[in-house]
Chains A and B, each alone.
Chain A
């Protein structure tokens, strides 16, 4: 069967109103579920799965993909409006999105989030269609040693999101690393900082830490100092993104999308690290570096491009190898299997029509996301107009419910409030929260992959230098650390020069 035959067969499968309806429903469900803190994209996909059993395979899978993509974008809405990331993937969006909402540019931030998401989605889908085979073999050459060096390099992001003081950023990162060690040891299964409490055996819940660190400190500061004076600024949220702004951010969006495609095609990393990496790269390359973290629209674009760039690319290992890159794609593999389809290299021969139908559906989904997203933004933007004295109590209720719903555990709610106080303290001493979060995500990955690599080699460090991939990441890590130290020294010198001693 030639390429064109498969393509036309695929087109025949997907060109029905039902497949469009399935995608549309999926995206709507995803955007709204993602917008509710505590309902992650993963949970939304898992809850949608039973509905796909009765549908023909192509509709069912398109429905799930719609939920996935919608969910990743939906998470950015509360991240921008109420500083509460709806999904872990959108935590990088908070950094510039919320300051923008504070300045009355909520509409602009949301618009940019949507355009960046859709562009990244499109690029990611194109990468899937054109380079799936090549990227999949690249992904498979990522063993624990390669992972270790990649994450080591990613940790240099911390410097990019530390704000004014690198030292405070590092302290924040250390706190994150420390709290991430709670739970069971990966290799020996022994308990670390569990204190005999079964609730702590599983470690601290990520969503609880995330919401506690970002949303709760805002609420505590409001209780400390209740005034609605900011509202005049906030309620001016009717700005739209201009084409010039989109054009200015376009390079950043493409860069973020490519980072997303690479990280997404490697199983086991996920969207959050990709969003942070894209953000820090954007900051490093931007002429408006100083404005990052204070409401820079390019920061929002970078973060959203980074996390949505992952969405299409996670299908690369799924379709090309049959390997689930994360929990969401594991659920989607389940949906394939229920319909008697087995994703993997053979599927390109046995069910090429379904693969091409999926490809076409995916391209359509980027357009549908743009439509659904614009409507959703119009609805949600009014949140920015609600006075704080009404908004914050509702946010608090939403946070408590959301965190409880993740694991149906009151303990997680307690964790959220404790993290909230820690976050408030950090806010008061101007210690940035983002390094904490990055360390909390990446620390355990770094440790696990290091120890897996050591198990593989029997304790020989040489394994960390095997192959060109490890050497590449070692080199870029060294370069970024050197650049960092040099910048820091230069800034310090210029500060000394300004202040006469």
Chain B
């Protein structure tokens, strides 16, 4: 009896010590790693989110950039961190679906991460130069079919969404072997990629609508396709579904928050609440919408499913077109 009492006391003491520690994540500042450089689309979006997020979180949020290798350097540092919720990652379409689908030697896989929420969606638009004689996606594909090698598309680098998007769109609209019949020109960064189309270095580009909106508004680039289910404001172009290819709706950019594999359920639940409150912030939504993003929060399960679907689609395409990077 005495022993039992003793045990109970220890148990109570233990609960007293351990209880708050578990219940009250976070006890210290949380680091959020952005795997891309300052000033990029991911950086600006996440820093805008960190404004309202920082006010809601009981502990400070440290936003740090860890740049390199198309998001791989920052991502792998979070994949290898302790899954205690104190090191989180701002994951992006490039680092988490395109790169894993394309790169055989990537030092992490999608399974190394647990997503707590996708909060931003970027519609994808394909555009050509206003001075070009290409008026529609049909013209583009016909040109590539008739004169193989004359059509090229620019991207922000190997393993970027832009590269995959260009190949995917050409493939969907019936160009066989898009990698042989069209040329992919990798550049350094999204700004250079858009400029390349403007300057005539490349024929077309498929990228986030936000990167193209001012060129389209200024009459320098002509949009020929949007991948959203509905038509997009400011872009006078048909949707993929209107042209009979609803499968291209998988082609969207996104930003989400992820932690390393094994992230406790409590941490995930906390983040879900924080993100819910932060993404409801009026100024945040207004800023992001003006930049051309769609703010839509998905809960952890939905995020995971959305990302896995996109990954599978991309992987199938990569296998089909033999785009895998082995070395």
Contacts and interface: CB of A to CB of B under 8 A. Distances in A.
Interface stretch (A103-111, A244-252, A337-345): A337-345
A188 interface: yes
Interface string B41-77: 0011001100100000000000011111110110011
Nearest to B38: A46
Q: Which of B72, B199, B283 has the most CB of A within 10 A?
A: B199
A198 B44 contact: no
Contact of A201 (B69, B157, B186, B219): B69
Contact of A268 (B77, B105, B186, B192): B192
B132 to A, nearest CB: 15
Interface of B is mostly: mixed
Contact of B70 (A184, A191, A327): A184
A456 B152 CA distance: 8
A268 B194 CA distance: 12
Interface stretch (A125-133, A219-227, A328-336): A328-336
Contact of B159 (A49, A50, A189, A198): A189
B48 A50 contact: yes
A324 B191 contact: yes
A187 B158 contact: yes
Interface string A167-197: 0000000000000000111111111000000
Interface in B216-267: 217-220
Contacts of B220: 321-322, 344-345
Given A50-B48, A184-B69, A452 B185 contact: yes
B201 interface: yes
Interface in B188-204: 188-189, 191-192, 194-196, 198-201
B158 A188 contact: yes
A143 interface: yes
Contacts of A141: 199
A459 to B, nearest CB: 11
Given A143-B201, A191-B327, A268-B192, A201 B73 contact: yes
Contact of A337 (B192, B214, B326): B214
A42 B195 CA distance: 20
A342 B218 contact: yes
Interface in A128-158: 140-144
Contact of A190 (B157, B218, B327): B327
Contacts of B219: 345-346
A267 to B, nearest CB: 6
Nearest to B67: A407
Size category, B interface:
35 or more
A328 B37 CA distance: 11
A348 to B, nearest CB: 10
A458 interface: yes
Contacts of A42: 38-39
Given A184-B158, A198-B76, A338-B291, A140 B325 contact: no
A188 B287 contact: no
A79 to B, nearest CB: 22
Interface in B165-200: 183-189, 191-192, 194-196, 198-200
A140 B68 contact: no
A267 B195 contact: yes
Contact of A46 (B39, B72, B283): B39
Contacts of A187: 158, 186
Nearest to A324: B191
Nearest to B158: A189
9 contacts: A184-B69, A185-B158, A189-B157, A189-B325, A331-B39, A338-B291, A344-B215, A408-B66, A458-B183
Q: Sorted from nearest, which 4 A-B pairs have the closest CB atoms? A: A202-B68, A189-B158, A190-B327, A344-B218
Interface of B: 33, 37-40, 43-44, 47-48, 51, 64-70, 72-73, 76-77, 102-103, 105, 107, 149, 152, 157-159, 183-189, 191-192, 194-196, 198-201, 210, 213-215, 217-220, 283, 287, 290-292, 325-327
Given A448-B187, A452-B186, 13 more contacts: A140-B195, A186-B158, A187-B158, A188-B325, A198-B77, A268-B192, A321-B198, A330-B40, A330-B191, A344-B220, A408-B64, A455-B152, A456-B201
